Amino acid sequence: EPEVTQTPSHQVTQMGQEVILRCVPISNHLYFYWYRQILGQKVEFLVSFYNNEISEKSEIFDDQFSVERPDGSNFTLKIRSTKLEDSAMYFCASRGQAHNQPQHFGDGTRLSIL
């Protein structure tokens, strides 16, 4: 079964540094998402992406965050200047065109900000 893949599995970064989290969605999927889960808290929606643009973003997704689909297969989340509170598990998800398609999730990237 096709899978969503995320790299790296664990990223350790100094506060203030830029970080890019990478995702390869399932190849025929058209909707892409990023979520995060701070330790001990709920999985929270960050952003959805469709047709090469952001379709919805949460209030968490401020100017420090950006997403890109640079080459038709990768889907990246960039955090420009990381803060301690950005430490979390970041999940990428994708789904197909049909309305009743569920989202498929990657294994996540654990981001640790020092």
Partner 1 sequence: AQSVSQHNHHVILSEAASLELGCNYSYGGTVNLFWYVQYPGQHLQLLLKYFSGDPLVKGIKGFEAEFIKSKFSFNLRKPSVQWSDTAEYFCAVSLGSNTGKLIFGQGTTLQVKP
Q: By CB under 8 A, name the binding residues for partner 1.
A: 3-4, 31, 33, 35, 41-45, 48, 50, 55-56, 58, 91, 93, 95, 99-100, 102-108
Question: Min. distance of Cβ 16 from partner 1 in angstroms?
Answer: 29
Question: Min. distance of Cβ 98 from partner 1 in angstroms?
Answer: 10
Give whole-number Cα distances, 114 to 13, 30, 35, 53, 69, in Å. Answer: 6, 35, 21, 31, 28
**Nearest to partner 1 of 87, 95 (CB atom):** 95
How many whole angstroms separate alpha carbon 71 and alpha carbon 45? 24
Question: Min. distance of Cβ 81 from partner 1 in angstroms?
Answer: 25
**Nearest to partner 1 of 17, 55 (CB atom):** 55
**Nearest to partner 1 of 76, 103 (CB atom):** 103
**Nearest to partner 1 of 11, 44 (CB atom):** 44
Question: Min. distance of Cβ 71 from partner 1 in angstroms?
Answer: 23
112, 14 contact by CB (below 8 A): no
CA-nearest of 14, 26, 13 to 103 is 26
Give whole-number Cα distances, 18 to 11, 55, 72, 86, 88, in Å. Answer: 11, 24, 23, 11, 15
